C-alpha cells in the first residue's frame, strides 16, 4: 500500500469514528448541564429544552439515563415553564424505557421516582410501561395521603410551640429548608413577602429545618424573617412528610386538606398558584 493510500485509509477511519456533524457528545451535554444554574432566568428554559433534545439524540445506555435524570433535578428549580418540564420528562421516560434500572430492595430506583414526581406535581405527560415506575407513582400517592393525615408539634426559634392540627381554619404552608441549600435561600424572600402580606387573611407559613438552632439563628443574623422558623431536632417531621430533598413545600387549606406540593425551589407565581388552590386569592 502506498503512503498516499495509507493516509487516505486513515482519514476514512477517522471520519467513520468521529461523531456526525452537529451531534453532541455526552461529555459536552454534561458540561452544559453543570452550567445551567449560572444562566439568567430568561435563558434557562430554552437551554434546558435544547439539552433535553440533545439527550434524546444520544444512544441508549447509562450515560443517557444519567444525564436525563440530572436534568430532571434542575428543571424543577424555579418556573421554567411547561415546555421545559415536558421536554425533560420525555427524555427521562425514553431513557428509562431503553435502559431500565433494576431494583435494589423494595423501593424503585430514584429515576423512576423523579419521573413520577414530574408527572404528579408538575403535571407533565409521560408513558412508561414499567412496573417499577407504576410502583413509584403509587408510593407518591400513598405518601401524600400520609402527609394529609400528619400532625406534629415543634418549637420555633423563640421557643413558641406550634401544632399543625391546631391551625385548622387557617391556610397553612409548610416549607422544609436548610441554611446550606441554595434553592431554599432563593425562595425565602418570597415566602417572607407572602407571609407578611397575607397573614391577616389567615395564612400561616411554617419554615422547618432539622439544623442546630444556634446555626439557624446565625444564618438569619440581622434579617427580620417573619414566618416562624421551626426546629425539627431529630428529623422526625421530615420523616413524617417523606422528605427526600429540599426545598419542599406543602399547602393545606382551611379544612386541613393537602392542596399543593412544591417539589423544589418555587417562584412567587408558583406559591400564589398553590395558595389559590387553598382558597387564598392573591391581590
- Tell me, yes or no, whether 141 and 161 share the same domain: no
Q: In this model, does residue 269 exceed pLDDT 70?
A: yes
Q: In this model, does residue 5 exceed pLDDT 50?
A: no
Provide the CATH number for the domain around residue 174: 3.40.30.10
Q: Is residue 282 part of a domain?
A: no
Query: How does the average pLDDT of the chain come out, rounded?
Result: 91
3-class DSSP string for the chain:
CCHHHHHHHHHHHHHHHCCCCCCCCHHHHHHHHHCHHHCCCCCHHHHHHHHHHHHHCCCCCHHHHHHHHHHHHHCCCCCCCHHHHHHHHHHHHHHHHHCCCCCCCCCCCHHHHHHHHHHHHHCCCCCCCCHHHHHHHHHHHHHHHHHHHCCCEEEECCCCEEEHHHHCCCEEEEEECCCCCHHHHHHHHHHHHHHHHHHHHCEEEEEEECCCHHHHHHHHCCCCCCCCEEECCCCHHHHHCCCCCCCEEEEECCCCCEEEEECCCCCHHHHHHHHHHCCCCCC
Q: In this model, does residue 20 exceed pLDDT 50?
A: no
- Tell me, yes or no, whether 188 and 125 share the same domain: no
Q: Which of 145, 166, 201 corresponds to the end of one domain?
A: 145
Q: In this model, does residue 69 exceed pLDDT 50?
A: yes
Q: In this model, does residue 61 exceed pLDDT 80?
A: yes
Structurally, the chain folds into a number of domains equal to: 2
Q: Which of 95, 130, 145 corresponds to the end of one domain?
A: 145
Q: In this model, does residue 22 exceed pLDDT 90?
A: no
pTM (2 d.p.):
0.87
Write out the residue range of the structural domain in which residue 73 sits.
3-145
- Tell me, yes or no, whether 112 and 163 share the same domain: no
Amino acid at each position: 500500500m502506498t503512503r498516499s493510500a495509507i493516509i487516505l485509509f486513515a482519514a476514512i477511519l477517522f471520519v467513520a469514528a468521529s461523531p456526525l456533524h452537529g451531534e453532541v457528545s455526552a461529555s459536552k451535554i454534561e458540561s452544559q448541564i453543570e452550567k445551567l444554574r449560572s444562566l439568567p432566568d430568561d435563558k434557562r428554559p430554552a437551554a434546558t429544552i435544547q439539552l433535553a433534545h440533545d439527550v434524546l439524540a444520544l444512544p441508549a445506555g447509562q450515560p443517557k439515563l444519567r444525564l436525563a435524570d440530572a436534568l430532571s433535578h434542575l428543571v424543577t428549580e424555579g418556573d421554567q415553564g411547561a415546555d421545559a418540564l415536558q421536554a425533560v420528562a420525555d427524555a427521562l421516560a425514553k431513557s428509562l424505557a431503553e435502559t431500565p434500572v433494576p431494583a435494589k430492595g423494595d423501593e424503585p430506583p430514584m429515576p423512576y421516582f423523579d419521573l413520577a414526581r414530574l408527572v404528579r406535581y408538575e403535571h407533565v405527560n409521560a408513558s412508561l410501561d414499567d412496573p417499577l415506575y407504576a410502583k413509584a407513582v403509587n408510593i407518591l400517592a400513598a405518601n401524600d395521603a400520609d402527609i394529609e393525615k400528619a400532625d406534629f408539634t415543634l418549637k420555633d426559634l423563640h421557643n413558641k410551640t406550634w401544632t399543625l392540627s391546631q391551625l385548622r381554619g387557617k391556610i397553612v404552608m409548610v416549607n422544609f429548608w436548610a441554611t446550606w441549600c441554595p434553592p431554599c435561600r432563593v425562595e425565602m424572600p418570597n415566602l417572607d413577602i407572602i407571609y407578611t402580606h397575607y397573614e391577616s387573611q389567615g395564612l400561616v407559613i411554617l419554615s422547618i429545618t432539622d439544623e442546630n438552632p444556634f446555626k439557624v439563628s446565625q444564618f438569619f443574623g440581622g434579617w427580620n424573617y417573619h414566618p416562624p422558623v421551626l426546629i425539627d431536632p431529630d428529623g422526625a417531621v421530615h420523616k413524617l412528610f417523606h422528605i427526600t430533598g429540599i426545598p419542599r413545600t406543602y399547602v393545606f387549606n382551611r379544612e386541613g386538606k393537602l392542596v399543593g406540593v412544591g417539589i423544589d425551589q418555587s417562584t412567587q407565581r408558583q406559591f400564589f398558584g398553590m395558595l389559590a388552590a387553598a382558597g387564598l386569592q392573591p391581590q
